[in-house]
Structure formats: C-alpha cells, structure tokens
Amino acid sequence: MKTLLATLVIFVLSVSATPIAGPATGCSAVHVITARASTEAPGEGIIGTVVSDVVAGSGQTVSREAIAYPATLTDYLESESSGVIAMKSRLAATASSCPDTKIVLMGYSQGAQVSGDVLASNASGSNKVVAAILMGDPGHIRGESFQKGTANQLNGLFPRAPGALNTFASVINSFCDIGDPFCAGGSDLAVHLGSVLVSSNTRVDVRHSVLNGDLITGENTFRENSTTLIDQIVGPLNEAKVPFSSTHGNHDNQANITHAEEILREQQAAPLSYTRMAPRGVGGIGGPGNYWVPIYLNSFDSSPALVLWFFDSRGGFSPGPNSTRFPDWVDGSVADWIKTETRGMNIAWGSAEKRGALAFVHIPPHIVTDLQKNLDSEANPGLNAWNRYGGYTGDGWGYGVRNLHFVSPNPTDGVKTWIRLEAGETRAQVTLNKKY
C-alpha cells in the first residue's frame, strides 16, 4: 500500500497572517510587485508561481502586479536600469495611495537584480516593504546574512557593494545555488533555470516540512548502501535550512532496510531533522517512529501554538533473508503513550484547547477503506490520496506538495490547505474548519 511517496508538507505560520488596521478604501492588505526574468514574456513570468503560493496561503487580501520593463539580454544594463525605474515608480505609488498596505517585492534573474537594486537605493516607499524574494540574483554578494541557497563562495555577474542591502536584511530571502552562472559565477545553466522550481521549500516563512513515508523502496536496494539514500533525500532540506520530520511506510521496512535504521541515518545526515524514536515498548515490532514536535509562534513563547504528532503505521517486512510480514497499522501501545504525553503537555502548557494539533501517519486507519467507497473527491479533495491527490508521487496530477497554512494561533480558526504542483498550479484547495 503506497498512499504517499515522500510527501512534503509545508507549514506556513507567517507573521503576514496578522491583520493590519484599516487599509485605505480599495487597497489590499498586502501588495506584491514582481519583476520577471530576462527574455520572459511580459507579465510575472515564472516567479508568478511563488506569488500564487502567497495569495493562496494568505489570510489577508493580496493584490499583485508585474512591472513593465524590457527584460532583455542584448542591452542588459539598460534593461535592468529601466526595470529599477519602473519598480521604484510602482513602489512609491502604492506606498502613497495605500499607506497601510504591506508591500512584497519579488524577482527572478534580472528581475531579482531589479528588486535588490531598488531596495539598495532606499527608494521612496521602501519602508513599506515587509518581504523581498530574490531568486538567481546577478547582484548577489557572497556571505550576506539573507542568503538562503548554497552559493557562499562567489559573487554574481553584477555584484552590489558589500552591505548595500543591510538595511533590509531582515526582510530579504535571496536564493542562489552553487553552479548558477548568473548569481554564483558558475557554469551550470540548469541550476539557474531551475532556481524557482527546484525546491518547493523556497517559500515565505516555512516553519516545518514533513516527509510522509516510503522514503526508500527498500525491496529494490542493497543492504550495504540502503541507508545512504537518506543523504540524497534530506540534501535539499539541508541546503534550504528547513527543519523537518519524517514518518515511514511499508516500503521502508524491508529485508534491506528498517524504520529504525532510516531514523538513525537521518539524524546523522540532517542537523535540522526532528525525527525521533518512541520510548522502549511503544510502537510494537517494526514501528519505532512515534514522536511529537512542538511548533512555537515566537522564540520567546512559553508554550507551542501547535503540536505535530507522528505515528508509525509499520507494514512491510522484517529485515534479513527470512523476512516476515509486519502488521500495517499503528500498534495499540501508542494509544496509551498518547494519553500519557498529553497529560504531561497539559501540566506544562495548560489546556489542549489553547493549542492546535496535527497528526501524520503513512498508512491510514483501515476505516478509511470504507470511507473512500462513497467519497466525493470534488467536495472533499485531499482525502483520496492515491493516484490523484497525492503529493510528491509523480502520479495523477504530477509532482506537487501539500501545503498547510495556519492562519492564526487559534486552533478553531481553521487551516487552509492546498496542493501546489511543480509548475505552479494550485489544486484541491479547502479550509479545514467546522464547516468542512
């Protein structure tokens, strides 16, 4: 049973979800201004996929616009200067006409340089900018505090003066990876062309990601190197510096690999892994991956806004040449463990009603089999996971990630969730609340 293959779930607990007071008539709470890459057709270009994520996941009204500028390569410097002028104009106009609106700047390639240069000039309205996303910026300077990619050795083709963006360092996220010929002095064009799509973790304020089981198809690996495949899986998360947790599936328990071995390898290979093993006696044979992770809204909070629970549904086979089948459900011992852990949480943090909770398990409870017989997948998108609404499986809709956006710390306010496909299309968008 392969319900999801390494589904990556993104949690957005963003400060941008906080309502702002009284925007001017006709103004949105957030306005996104974008600059496209060189040679892209007029409009937002591929960076628009990131804008769509912001719009889909925001608890506020979001408006968007793309600046009009040449975006040419043949007269690059002149084109880029025109882009700076155009973005400055739109930034100043928005700040003037909508003084309570938060502004976000986004740019890809030449558009990233445009966005960065506008901020470096401290243009009129820059004080209204709450976030800036720069992808593949030719103005990249190595070693800057806002660098989110892997390129920390070389500068871009048109580097700014060191420290030129220091004033806005706290709101900038600049993505540049090793090998990019435009932002990192490399020679691999594919790195630059894939800088927007290469990772679905390059999003505003990603707090935690989840790999939801079947990380490795254990029956097709060799005993001597099966755990090293974990290094490849966690590599992009390490590069993006995103904290994450994993569950494990039936294909992770096979003759050549076990859940426990994968967990131990992940902890060695990924400094930001929060995956853990349950106390001895919890989880049954072949099911050690039962644990929880607290998610805090602020670093100074004394209690979490959300608790993520992870349950090991086992399945697969025992290791070794004489493998026997494991049961494919969460062991009964986990139920008692949940009660014990919850009592401890309530003592330490207060009533559970004050915090949200979300559980992950690879193989759903068997009752879901009966549920899916009469499931209306249009009215309840996301419940029918296999072959249509899956995450990073490559089946049905293609590659995508399930996003979960908690619009506020109050668990009764609901959760926005949708699948974002690799090309930027949004599917299966619903709000999980009392009306769902």
What's 160-199 look like in SS3?
A: CCCCCCHHHHHHEEEECCCCCCCCCCCCCHHHHHCCCCCC
Contact between 84 and 118 under an 8 Å Cβ cutoff? The reply is: yes
- Which candidate in 28, 109, 226, 245 is catalytic? 109
Contact status, residue 138 vs residue 152, Cβ threshold 8 Å: no
The amino acid at 51? V
- The single residue of 53, 177, 180, 312 carrying the catalytic annotation is 180
> Is 192 considered catalytic here?
yes
Collapse the DSSP code of 210 into the 3-class scheme (helix H, G, I; strand E, B; otherwise coil) and give the result. strand
Q: Measuring CA to CA, which residue among 276, 408, 292 is closest to residue 340?
A: 292
Among 117, 126, 137, 192, the one annotated catalytic: 192
DSSP class per residue in 62-111: EEEEE------STTHHHHHHHHHHHHHHHHHHHHHH-TT-EEEEEEETHH
Coil, strand, or helix at residue 31?
strand
**Is 109 designated active site?**
yes
Residues 6+ apart with CB under 8 A from 267: 273, 275
Task: Examine the residue annotation and report whether 301 is marked as an active-site residue of this protein.
Answer: no
The burial class, CB within 10 Å (0-12 / 13-18 / 19+), for 294 is: middle
Residues carrying an active site annotation: 109, 180, 192
